[in-house]
Amino acid sequence: MKTFLRFLQMLALGGWIGAIVYFAAVVTVGAFAVLANRDIAGAIVGYTIGGLHDFGIAAAVIYLLAAVLLRRSLKVLVTAAAIGVELMLLATLVSQEIVIPRMNVLRAQMGSVATTAATNPLRAQFDRLHGVSVDFEVAILLIGLVALFLTVRQIASTKPARVAAPAEKVRLS
């Protein structure tokens, strides 16, 4: 059971980090490179970041639940790795529930982000929130890498239970 719970921790955290890297390196770059309309590219990126956040929330819950079950104590939630995952979860929730909805309202008010002048107050506010959103994702990624390292280190430092060697049979000649 311990091996399975550790596997779940690694899968959840590694998958979340991998999804962030894929989102940043492939989805966002690809959407803006392939699509001629920047507003449509932005809509695709906006849609996929929602999925990324949902994945991250599920991954955080899985990781933290596995950690509690492994230690059989809620005290594990104040270890460095768990605090890192909790911070990742908090940043994801703030981005998903506060920053992105505000960006969506501004996008709707502008009609088109691409054709709105950078000097327009709505566009300036949108650009600022976009920067905040990017900063959140970078922070989530960096904290995730540290939490992953700490998790691996913790697993590596856990000594496996010793199995007693079978007693040798004594031969009487």
Quote the pTM value. 0.85
Query: Has residue 110 been placed in a domain?
Result: yes
Tens of pLDDT, residue by residue over 113-126, are 999 999 999 999 99
Query: Has residue 54 been placed in a domain?
Result: yes
In whole angstroms, give the CA distance from residue 154 to residue 169: 39
Query: Has residue 23 been placed in a domain?
Result: yes
Q: Is 112 helix (H, G, I), strand (E, B) or coil?
A: coil
Is the model's pLDDT at 93 over the cut of 90? Answer: yes
Query: Has residue 58 been placed in a domain?
Result: yes
The amino acid at residue 81 is A
Q: Helix %, strand %, coil % for the chain, to 5? A: 80, 0, 20
Query: Has residue 171 been placed in a domain?
Result: no
At residue 51, φ and ψ (nearest 5 deg) are: -65, -40
Q: Which domain range does residue 36 map to?
A: 2-155
pLDDT of amino acid 165: 60
pLDDT confidence tier of residue 167, bands split at 50, 70 and 90:
low
Q: First vs last Cα of the chain: how many Å apart?
A: 46
Tens of pLDDT, residue by residue over 31-78, are 999 999 999 999 999 999 999 999 999 999 999 999 999 999 999 999
Query: Has residue 75 been placed in a domain?
Result: yes
Measured torsion, CA atoms of residues 9, 79, 51, 41, in degrees rounded to the nearest 10: -120
Is the model's pLDDT at 171 over the cut of 90? Answer: no
pLDDT of amino acid 23: 97
Tens of pLDDT, residue by residue over 144-157, are 999 999 999 987 77
- What DSSP string runs through 52-109? HHHHHHHHHHHHHHHHHHHHTSGGGGGSHHHHHHHHHHHHHHHIIIIIHHHHHHHHHH
Q: Are 94 and 136 in contact (CB under 8 A)?
A: yes
Query: Has residue 121 been placed in a domain?
Result: yes
Q: In this structure, how many other beta carbons lie within 10 angstroms of the beta carbon of residue 91?
A: 20
In whole angstroms, give the CA distance from residue 61 to residue 116: 40
Query: How many structural domains are present in the chain?
Result: 1
Q: Are 114 and 37 in contact (CB under 8 A)?
A: yes
Query: Has residue 112 been placed in a domain?
Result: yes
